[in-house]
Amino acid sequence: MSVDSATVRRIAHLARIKVKDEEVDHLQGELNAILAFVEELSKVDVEGVEPMTSVVSMPMKKREDKITDGGIPEKIVANAPAAEDNYFRVPKVVE
């Protein structure tokens, strides 16, 4: 795939980037180099390679999933404009 100057201008327009006419040729070369590198990467054989989350194999840190009520409902609703029995009170919006 190759990018021409019209495509560079269109990409700049879509990205809302102001590009001067003298910069178009340089950007065209840079975009073509990026696309060539991506094409080169697609030739790499990755059959049987497991996806990685890190370059160092380590177990994910996990915490125990505990359900709590927070224990501080009074503090939670303290700054609410309206509260009732430790619940936020909101205006009725549906009849």
Sketch out the chain's domains with CATH numbers. Answer: 5-41 (1.10.20)
SS3 readout for 8-56: HHHHHHHCCCCCCHHHHHHHHHHHHHHHHHHHHHCCCCCCCCCCCCCCC
Q: Summarize the confidence of residues 25-52 as an average pLDDT.
A: 91
> Among residues of the chain, what percentage have pLDDT more than 70?
100
pLDDT exceeds cutoff 90 at 9: yes
Instruction: Answer whether residue 18 shows pLDDT above 80.
Output: yes
Specify the pTM: 0.50
Residue 78 reports pLDDT greater than 80: yes
Say what the pLDDT of residue 49 is: 86
